[in-house]
Amino acid sequence: MNWPTLPAISSVARKEFLHIYRDRRVLILLLVLPPIFTLVFGHAFE
């Protein structure tokens, strides 16, 4: 099996980071939703 090399993995990670950074809606969702879900589930299990 041919394993991906570190430069290949880093280039894909860089490409995905740039796509997320350019799309403001996704960036907002990534920054806002985790704290909201933490609060909602924390309140639900209380």
- Delimit the domains of the chain by residue range: 18-46
Q: Which pTM does this prediction carry?
A: 0.57
4 confidence band (pLDDT: 50, 70, 90): confident
At 29-43, the pLDDT tens digits run 999 999 999 999 999
Could you give the CA distance from residue 20 to residue 26 in angstroms, rounded to a whole number?
6
- Classified as helix, coil or strand, 19 is helix
Diameter over CA atoms, the chain: 48
Lookup: tokens for 13: 């990670």
Among the listed residues 37, 17, 35, the one whose alpha carbon sits nearest the alpha carbon of residue 26 = 17
Angle at 30 between CA 28 and CA 8, to 5 degrees: 120
